[in-house]
Amino acid sequence: MINPFFKNHGPFKIRKILDLIENSAHLKNENSKVHDIKDLILSTSKDITFLHSKKYSNSASITKASFCVTTNSLKHFLPATCSPIIVENVLLSVSLITKAFYPDSINDEFDNTVKEITKTNFKKKTRHGKNILIGKNVKIGKNCSIGHNTIIEKNVIIGNNCSIGSNVIIRNTIIKDNVFILDGCVIGKKGFGFFPNNKRNIRYPQIGIVLIEDNSEIGCGSTIDRGSISNTVIGKNTFLDNQIHIAHNVKIGNNCIIAGQVGFAGSSIISDNVMIGGQAGISGHIKVGNKVQIGGGSGVIKDIEDNSKVMGYPAKNLREFIKENK
């Protein structure tokens, strides 16, 4: 899918990318062009990707990308069709490459294309409150309502039968049918991605989107960051309570129920039919299996198998937790 929110300034020759990241290596195919940077799974033969952890070795082994930014210790996970570009700091190099493809992704400035809804075609096509701003090329389906003081920025897509509350900001987002976004939500802003630096922290470009699938509900005051390279996804028929934070690249499956003030760190994966109690914390780059139940206040710091019931910090088997806390 072509990114509707950020302009791609590619393609670039591999030689130019090597120069950009100050890599003096000479590759046989360095005059080849790459058209985009994508994650290991979504990459095509026209793309460049990256591998920074052996946790993603399975994805690396089947990537279709022609080039991969990685380290010397990880390059053996790549298929023969993918040429490794060896660097010391993968994520820093990827940050520079991403910025070259999508220079506008660093900033989250306000959308100056917005107009009062009363001056757009949505004046009669939606039920709406007062002081609503709509950006250029926004698409809104049938039978939708929008609350007071809400901003829907350029290129956002909203499906049929959706309800958008008051004081909501939506950007870089695609919302499917029958979705409820309650008051005070901020969806699609850049995530908390940066490289610590003593003089000035370096922000990581965020070029992904937020995708909210059919029949889902996002509770009051919740924040959902857009993806960095891949997308942040909320599955079908998933209900989020109030004041939940979802970081970049998080994937939440179908039919999940998540209570208030739960926090998801970046790139965590929540499978289908998961229930999570209030104020639980989910660490980044972990996977929670299908039909898992996580007790309130738990801290999940490693993968959880299907059908597990866990609680505590760190989260452990529920029976074990109860036995230890009698």
Q: Which of 26, 35, 76, 248 is catalytic?
A: 248
Which residues have C-beta within 8 Å of that of residue 11, sequence separation ≥ 6?
Answer: 33, 34, 35, 46
Dihedral pair phi/psi, residue 124, rounded to 5°: -100, -15
Pairing type for strands 163-164 and 144-146 reads parallel
Contact 224, 217 (CB under 8 A): no
In sequence order, which ranges of the chain are alpha helices (DSSP H)?
Answer: 14-20, 57-61, 90-101, 122-125, 318-324
| Residue corresponding to tokens 């590759």 | 27
Beta pairing partners, 58? none
Annotated active-site residue 248? The verdict is yes
What is the phi/psi pair of residue 229, to 5°? -105, -50
Task: Give the residue numbers annotated as catalytic, written as ranges.
Answer: 248
